Amino acid sequence: MGADLIEAWVRHLGAERNMSANTVRAYAGDLAHLVDYLDRTGSGELGDVDLRTLRRWLAGMHAAGAERATMQRRAAAARVFFAWAHATGRLAADPATGLRSPRVDRRLPATVEVDQARQMLEALADRAGAETDPVLRARALRDVAIVEVLYAGGVRVGELCGLDAGSVDAERQVLRVHGKGDKDRTVPVGDPALRALEAWRSVRDLIAAPQAGEALFVGDRGARIDPRVVRRLVHRAVASVPDAPDLGPHGLRHAMATHLLEGGADLRSVQEILGHASLATTQIYTHVSAERLRTAYQQAHPRA
């Protein structure tokens, strides 16, 4: 019963709840972890689960040293699964109704300073300008455009890789982004990002293959660029800046949000740009800004 039930639930998550492929994959893995626990402990099948079993499952993860964020996601997956199974008549009761998630410590995300972001982008541009080989220069210009867009627009790496040529509206200075939950949004970008995009698009055909289709960014083999390639690129770019933390694309998203708020942007506008469904998700960046203010105060004020 378990495998068929999970398979039906996974189809429901993708087709009816419009969850991203990554979220569906993570939730499916969480239920597989629960099934494995039931098998190892002889606790029966999914239809035999009660609240006490679910609490023991979480307690076992905690004892094994699992991260609180992992436990929280697995508890959420269990609640979603059992609520669906009960609502659709597949299970007689919902044992996860009273299941609480462990609280997750909200860590301030690492980010770069404005000057460090500028140094990183200038270093990429200098490398592109010094390149004489046409193909290598095209790749370098692509890299500049990618990092400019990540920092200027705060887009997720998957959203960046999904951009098409028609996603860029240079006249209005915006990108049309297809985001999480199958939702589209418009993201403003500045002149430096638009200039970088224009330079890249002028040489894109030097490395783009037919299978790239309308993809805005392509990898070295000519197809639509892979998120793993973008992550490696960003880590290398940030590593070129002295004293900068080790960041990937999501770190540039954090940096963009933090710098917007420090520059006077309102929280609701930042929420819209980032594509957060809840304002509470965006509010962590106010804590980042407050932490920086406290650090500056403690370093500079004679009575700190």
Which of the residues 137, 139, 142, 156 is marked catalytic?
156
Judge whether 12 counts as a catalytic residue: no
Catalytic: 178? no
Q: Are 257 and 230 in contact (CB under 8 A)?
A: no
Rounded to 5 degrees, what are φ and ψ at 56? -65, -35
Three-state SS at 217: coil
Of 25, 68, 276, 292, catalytic = 276
Contact 189, 256 (CB under 8 A): no
> Is 180 one of the annotated active-site residues of the chain?
yes
Q: Does residue 303 have an active-site annotation?
A: no
Q: Residue 285 catalytic?
A: yes
Contacts 24+ apart (CB under 8 A), 65-69: 68/102, 68/103, 68/104, 68/105, 69/104
Q: Out of 12, 118, 201, 250, which one is annotated catalytic?
A: 250
Selecting among 180, 185, 195, 292, the annotated active-site residue is 180
Q: Respond yes or no: is residue 231 known to be catalytic.
A: no
Closest CA to 219 of 160, 168, 170, 175: 160
Catalytic residue numbers? 156, 180, 250, 253, 276, 285
